[in-house]
Chain A
Amino acid sequence: MLPRRLLQRGVLGINARNQRYTLRVNERRFYPLVDDKLATKRMCHEAGIPVPRLLAVAEVNAQAKRLLPELSDESAFVLKPARGAMGNGILVLEVRDGKMMRGSRAVSADDFVYHAAGIISGLYSLAGHADAAMVEEKLITHPAIAPLAEDGVPDLRVIVYRGIPVMGMMRLPTRASGGRANLHQGALGVGIDLELGVTTHAMFRGETTARHPDNQRALVGLAIPSFDDVLYTAVSAAARTGLGYVGADVVIDARLGPAILELNARPGLAIQLANRAGLAPRLDAVDEALGAWARGEHNDMSTAARVALGREVARVARPKAAA
């Protein structure tokens, strides 16, 4: 039976994720920290965790027009809703020959203001509430990864459970995903061996693949640059939120190194497909190592110890054949 086999492989379903993890270890009062990207940015900034520079914010419609003048010195930036979900409403723009371009399409100043006004009205926010439009610098993808993603900014998603990194994947935008690093929109998901920092499998639209669909580059066996720092960054940001189950999105910037793009209190489960592994055994292993979870628990392990435990958990869970 399919459900039994999935259970044996430790595949986590949405109901189980919600019941056992997000509803249990993610306290509602901490959600605003991750649902509002401005709050996340502030939190990370205070903790010295690198984040993309905030260039401008508009909280009311009147301010939408004033966004562009503040960006006159910038050559590449991202307009996004502060409380958006699933990558919706994000506009990645580059200035070429004095013109704002989204990919190969020109974007007029009017388009920009209209999009910002839509964001402020709450068009893309989680519950349709009024939102803020924020503009931050566009990060420059690390040269080791850049060739894999010509159409956008790739990021690394790390699931951090009770402060321990348990699974990671790289998300590569494709032409099909329109530059967005969202798997259900057609981005590539590339599983990562947490212990080695090397890519293991790749998945495109739910199918296994070994090569990038746009440029045929190999996706498996690549070493992720500064992978230690990626895990450190993800863990220290996630641990600061007070949430027990977090998806940290990290971008490896050519100048900043790993920087937090955003945090997610309800991270998706497709990461299991990219890694060809279920989350449940790793989450159980963390529970076993740390003891039963208690409300408001404070874990004073060092970041290094957390990362080490996460790697140990991932190593034990690694399929025997590959070990």
Chain B
Amino acid sequence: MSRASLVVGALLVAFGLAVFGLKLFAFEIPLAVSEGVGPWQVELRVNVRGSGARGSVRALLPASEAGQAIFEENPTADRLEFTVREQDGGNRTGIWSGEIGPIHEVVYAFHVQMNAVEAPLPSTGPFPEPPRSISVTSLAPSRTIPADAPEVAARLERLELPSMKDLPGRIRTIYQWVANEVASVERGNDDPLLVLANQEGSEAGKEFLLTTLMRGAGVPARIVHGLELRPDATPRERTWTEVWIADRWVPMCASPDGFFARRPENFLVLGRGNVAHVEATSVVSVGHRYRSLREHLRADEIANLLTPDNPVFERLSFYRLPLPTQAALRVLLLIPLGAVVIALFRNVIGVQTYGTFMPILISLALREFSLWKSLALVVGVIAFALVLRRGLEFLRLLMVPRLSIMLCTVVLLVAAFALVGDDTQTASLFAGVLFPMVILTMLTERIFITSAEEGVRQAVVRAGYSTAVAATIHPIFQSARAEYLMFTFPELTFCAMGVLVWIGGYTGYRVTDLMRFRRLAQEQGAEAA
């Protein structure tokens, strides 16, 4: 290696490490992902279209309570007036009102520190009567909770519930029946009586039935609306149930992935009762979506990172950026790590891959997928496209139209995968980074040409090397630790560049050189050494 590249590489690495060290030690930014203690950043984005008439948009806003601490709430109003209404029932509603023009986008962003709530059922009595305020709101039948319907009474009769003295037993029996005997079906019914009649319904429908049966059995119960926050996906809107026993509310959810007498730490309460997540009046249309990101820092640590005491670092911190930008940057900042792996494979090991950065792009697009699933997808699409490519050979088409036909096929294949694939994972495939169809197309063409020109063996060997490189990069792209490290300490990119300068200046043998020329080393009588 030349002295110059040694020095330039060292300078880059030293600069990266210096900034990294400064942030690590002087500002005490933690090095590792502290799993499960970080707050979430959640964002509600509402798109509303109106005709110019006065109208309003209402959204449930979370409130701090046991298991969830809300902070750094940040609404944007997009020319509308924003107010928060706190209702008696404890629900908080954000209201955006004014003249609703053709398009408004309002955002409500907040941080929340979540904890699991444990609420075990008491084993022994006495079980005091609920106070009047609770029996009025949560025991009486209502339009949506028809606890007085005859079929509810009939079902409760057949469940042979324990007596009121064994309140926990009653609750358990009803919960177990709804959880185990009522099927959850997608796009199932929401109406509790229809769910009861069919013994199947939507997740929300089962919760309404659970609440209805509880009230019918004399147990105060209410519907909870909230979000299930997920580490690598958008939040799911969830509904669950709370029952009142021994002076407190006990959460439970009868879905297949439900819970009983506890609320998992990723279930965020937005509101209770017969309310919608988002609704609007005097508008043409309204749509909303939630996004969330798990923070790996504790709230006070984020505050420290953002503290104006360090104006430079405050300006340079990616944590100030809007959530979608952050999500994109978290992915982009992993690319330097992939580039180092590519350079190691090509210049130190010496394997040939299809396309220099192809393994990075494909791994990046498939980072939400498991390694095996990614391989199956890529291999499946390419195998199919290769068959087609062979067929196209007979038509003798010119290159660009021929490649375009292959591109169309690849698009169709990936689209077909969306139909048969797992919904949430496939959705993320198309979000953010667009799946690299063009790369798959060119890859197919290269494999075809290589197998025709240099033999199938060579084509398979090179495909194997490409796979090995991609399989090395893929876990890095999936690693939450790597993501946190590069996003929180982007200066490490300079270290990667320094290492790349070193690799670029490496004049030693590649592993493949050693294998090729090992015969020369075995021979005796070395020449002019």
Contacts and interface: CB of A to CB of B under 8 A. Distances in A.
Interface of A: 2-3, 5-6, 8-11, 13-16, 19-20, 61, 88-89, 110, 114, 117-118, 121-124, 184-185, 206, 208, 269-270, 272-273, 276-278, 281, 316-321
B509 A13 contact: yes
A276 B523 contact: yes
A74 to B, nearest CB: 23
A318 B398 contact: no
B167 to A, nearest CB: 75
A6 B520 contact: yes
10 contacts: A6-B509, A8-B526, A9-B523, A14-B350, A14-B512, A122-B399, A124-B449, A273-B517, A316-B528, A320-B525
A16 B519 contact: no
B143 interface: no
B399 A10 contact: no
B157 to A, nearest CB: 77
Contact of A15 (B508, B519, B527, B529): B508
Given A14-B350, A15-B347, A15-B506, A121 B525 contact: no
A117 B400 CA distance: 11
B457 to A, nearest CB: 11
Contacts of B520: 6, 9, 11, 272-273, 276-278
Contacts of A208: 519
B527 A10 contact: yes
B73 interface: no
Contacts of A11: 509, 513, 517, 520-521
Contact of A121 (B399, B455, B523): B399
A204 to B, nearest CB: 13
Centre residue among B399, B449, B510, B528 by max chain A CB count within 10 A: B528
B396 A110 contact: yes
A89 B398 CA distance: 15
Contact of B454 (A15, A123, A185): A185
A26 B458 CA distance: 30
Contact of B514 (A3, A10, A319, A320): A3
Interface string B487-513: 000000000000000000111111011
A276 B518 CA distance: 11
A119 to B, nearest CB: 10
B398 A117 contact: yes
A317 B528 contact: yes
A281 B509 contact: no
B132 interface: no
A2 B519 contact: no
B527 A277 contact: yes
Contacts of B523: 9, 276
B516 interface: yes
Interface of B: 2, 347, 350, 396, 398-400, 449, 453-455, 458, 505-510, 512-514, 516-521, 523, 525-529
Given A273-B517, A273-B520, A321 B525 contact: yes
B389 to A, nearest CB: 13
A114 B523 CA distance: 48
Contacts of B513: 6, 11, 13-15, 269
Contacts of A318: 527
Nearest to B518: A2
Contacts of A13: 507-510, 513, 517
B427 to A, nearest CB: 34
Nearest to B395: A114
A122 B442 CA distance: 13
Contacts of A320: 525, 527
A319 B527 contact: yes
A14 B518 contact: no
Nearest to A277: B527
A275 to B, nearest CB: 10
Contacts of A276: 520, 523
A270 B516 contact: yes
B514 A2 contact: yes
B438 to A, nearest CB: 13
Centre residue among A3, A15, A321 by max chain B CB count within 10 A: A15
A317 B453 CA distance: 37
Contacts of B528: 10, 281, 316-317
A10 B528 CA distance: 8
A8 B509 CA distance: 13
A318 B527 CA distance: 7
Contacts of B400: 121
A44 to B, nearest CB: 27
A287 to B, nearest CB: 14
A103 to B, nearest CB: 15
Contacts of B398: 61, 117, 121
Which 4 pairs show the lowest CB-CB distances between chains A and B? Answer: A121-B399, A5-B521, A13-B509, A13-B513
B399 A6 contact: no
Given A16-B509, A121-B399, A320-B525, 6 more contacts: A9-B520, A10-B529, A13-B508, A114-B396, A118-B399, A272-B517
